[in-house]
Amino acid sequence: SQQGEEDPQALSIQEGENATMNCSYKTSINNLQWYRQNSGRGLVHLILIRSNEREKHSGRLRVTLDTSKKSSSLLITASRAADTASYFCATDAGTGFQKLVFGTGTRLLVSP
Amino acid sequence: GAVVSQHPSWVICKSGTSVKIECRSLDFQATTMFWYRQFPKQSLMLMATSNEGSKATYEQGVEKDKFLINHASLTLSTLTVTSAHPEDSSFYICSARDMASGQETQYFGPGTRLLVL
């Protein structure tokens, strides 16, 4: 399977704490994207990082990419209860068709 | 931001019937749409890539005669699950890319939950 791996599978923290999720993938990529999914809902795009970028920020989100290790991390700072969701990384191998291969996901629970 | 809708949001059907799911890009044109399937507590698995005006490209292991895809316009793609069986029960999600914007972001629909009895 080409599917990426994410760890941890589940993460439980208190409000205000930081949450870090890691993603590893198998093939060379054009870009890597992170998505959030609330239970039973569609996906919301969070951030995209290109293969020639190493770090990117968006509000409380910080994403890093290490193409030599084929890995990425998503850091959510000062977490809130509303951040409770599943988080998925997805890689675009740059085939021209924009196909995304999703990781296994991390379920984040932020308790008040 | 770009909006993608799906209809219906949920459907319950009897085994052997066919179910059609619509995916629409509401405020942009999408020459390419994607269909995913997600089982409970699992990740999304790409089923097929839907190209406007041409045949869909299916991923390995996905039966094209069972999951019929039609992308008749730049804003609409449909997925028909033919002769549905209980094992087809799943969460089906579509996505589309705003070609005019040049952005690489895919926008996802809210999903359709299918339950086959």
Query: What's the confidence (pLDDT) of residue B31?
Result: 82
> Across chain A, what does the average pLDDT equal?
92
- Residues B18-68 have pLDDT tens digits of 999 999 999 888 888 999 999 988 899 999 998 888 889 999 999 999 999
Q: What is the DSSP letter of B115?
A: E
Query: What's the confidence (pLDDT) of residue A53?
Result: 97
Query: What's the confidence (pLDDT) of residue A61?
Result: 98
Is any Cβ of chain B less than 8 angstroms from the Cβ of A35? yes
Q: Is the dihedral of CA A39, A15, A12, B43 positive or negative?
A: positive
State how far the Cα of B37 lies from the Cα of B13, in Å rounded to an integer: 17
CB of B44 closer than 8 Å to CB of A88:
yes
Per CB-CB distance under 8 Å, the chain B contacts of A104 are 42-43
The helix (H) or strand (E) run that includes residue B51 is strand B44-51
For chain B, the first-to-last Cα distance in angstroms comes to 37
Between residues 58 and 77 of chain A, which touch chain B (CB distance below 8 Å)? none
The two tokens of residue B37 are 């399937």
Q: Of the given ranges (A3-7, A48-52, B92-96), which has the lowest mean pLDDT?
A: A3-7
Return the residue matching tokens 């996905």: B62
- How far apart, in Å, are the Cα atoms of A103 and each of A34, B71, B94? 10, 27, 17
State how far the Cα of A17 lies from the Cα of A44, in Å rounded to an integer: 22
A2 — pLDDT class (breaks 50, 70, 90): low
Query: What's the confidence (pLDDT) of residue A1?
Result: 52
Mutate which: A21, A50, A99, A109, vs B, most B CBs within 10 A: A99
State how far the Cα of B42 lies from the Cα of B33, in Å rounded to an integer: 21
Query: What's the confidence (pLDDT) of residue B55?
Result: 86
Query: What's the confidence (pLDDT) of residue A99?
Result: 83
Query: What's the confidence (pLDDT) of residue B52?
Result: 83
A97 — pLDDT class (breaks 50, 70, 90): low
When pLDDT is averaged across residues A71-76 and rounded to a whole number, the result is: 98
Closest C-alpha to A63, from A14, A99, A20: A20
Per CB-CB distance under 8 Å, the chain B contacts of A88 are 43-44
**A61 three-class SS:** strand
Would the CB atoms of A43 and B105 count as touching at under 8 Å? no
